[in-house]
Amino acid sequence: MPHVEIKCYPGRTEELKRKCAERIAEEIADILGCNISSVSVVIKEIPEAEWKEKVWDADIAPNEKYLYKKPGYTYE
Instruction: Tell me what pLDDT residue 30 has.
Output: 98
What are the tens digits of pLDDT across the range 28-41?
A: 999 999 999 999 99
What would the mean pLDDT of 66-71 be, rounded to a whole number? Answer: 96
Burial 10-41, CB ≥16 within 10 A → b, else e: eeeeeeebeeebeeebeebbeeeeeeeeebeb
Which residue ranges form the domains of the chain, and what is each CATH number? 3-66 (3.30.429.10)
pTM for this structure?
0.90
Residue 1 reports pLDDT greater than 90:
no
Q: Please list the residues that pair with 45 across neighbouring strands.
A: 8
Catalytic residue ranges: 2
